[in-house]
Structure formats: structure tokens, C-alpha cells
Amino acid sequence: MELLTISKAAKKLGVHPNSLRNWEKRGLIKPVRLPGGQRRYSMDELSRLLQSGQLTDGHEVAVLYARVSTKKQADAGNLERQIERLRQYAKENGFIVRAEFADVASGLNQKRYGLTNVLKLAEQGEYRRLIIEYPDRLARFGCGYIERHLKYCGVEIIAIAEEEPEDAQSELVKDLLAIVTSFSARLYGARGGKKIRQRFRKLIADVESDEETTKEQKEDD
């Protein structure tokens, strides 16, 4: 009887090795354990699993992830509308939604509950597609590292929007100003540092004022 390693068995099934570990926990598959504790899978066991109908085609299973930067945006319904667009896309394209996650946080924030769970389920081999509106919903900078990690886990990212909405551009400006402000804080004790911080604060206030003016003009129209 031919026994396959977990990596070879996963390749046969077209899934990530973590999927096999997860199915074992759920009692869907039972590997042979070698004296050293290593898992081995028989072709008969793999065939039985595929023919049992207990598994959903992993290529159709998806997770949805949405993010807005501020509570004000969430309260205005932006987050829920974003999620609804993702749900509609998943429905129209025949995806089975495994889970939905959302964050109200800056794209610079690395400690996001929703994103953490997106990565956790990917590492467990729970889904094969991550559906987002556009790339920087995952992260403002360093998105490539997240994409690389998800790809390693066997997950493809699908961004459904061709262009970012106008409010996303204002988010970018705020995030850039936040970065500059953070660095300017290090100059506070240096010569001229206090003046630099004051100028950046004024710049941020001007940006926020321009956004309010634009919003009022649109409402008047």
C-alpha cells in the first residue's frame, strides 16, 4: 500500500497541507501515524474522502474582508455597503462564503482583529479565495507581504473594484500625513522640530477642512 507524505497528499488533492490537518481534527480523514509521529496518507483514504461528498470544492470557498478607516465612515454605512458589494460578487460568481471579517481601523494599523482572522483561517486551509474591494483594504503599505503569505497558504486574492472611491483617496492622504507626523515627532527635541510639527498639524487640519467643504458642496448639488 502506497503511503504519501502530507505535502504529496495535499498536492494530489490540490489543497494546502493545513487543510488535511484541519480535516483530521474534524474527523473527516484519518492518516497513518509512523513511529516517529509523522502523518502518512493512503491513496484509498484520499479516494474515499473525495467520493464521500463531505468536502466542498475548496476552489469555491471564499472569505470576505472589508475595512474602513474611521468610525465615522462605519456609522455612515460605508462599511456595510462595502460588505454587501462583496456578498453580491460572491453570490454572482458561485462562491461559498466561509466567513466575513471587517475592521474599522487605518490601513497602517497592524493589529486588526478581522485581518488576523483572515490570516488564521488561511493558515488552517479553510478557504481558497479572499474577496476584497481593492488591495489596500488589506494594508496601506506592505500588502505584497500579505499576498505572498496568503499565496503560500494556497489562497488567491480577488479585488473586485477597478478604481478606488473618492473617500479612499482622502484616507490615503490622512495615512500619509500620519506617517509624516510620526516621523516629525522624533524631531520634536531637535532644532526646529517643534515648528515642523506645528506645520504638519496645520496641514492635517487643512485637509480635513477641504474634505468637509467638498462634502457640503456635494450635498448642495
CA distances for 1 relative to 40, 44, 47, angstroms: 11, 9, 14
- Using alpha carbons, select from 147, 22, 121 the residue that is nearest to residue 64: 121
With contact defined as beta carbons under 8 Å apart, do 42 and 1 qualify?
Answer: yes
At 161, give phi and psi (nearest 5°): -100, 135
Catalytic entry in 7, 42, 52, 69: 69
The dihedral formed by the CA atoms of 48, 53, 57 and 60, expressed in degrees to the nearest 10: -170
| Burial zone of 67 (CB within 10 Å; 0-12 exposed, 13-18 middle, 19+ buried) | buried
Active site residue 69: yes
Q: How many CB atoms lie within 10 A of CB 92?
A: 8
Q: Which three cell numbers stand for residue 78?
A: 460605508
The grid coordinates listed for 176 are: 500619509
Task: List residues with catalytic annotation.
Answer: 69
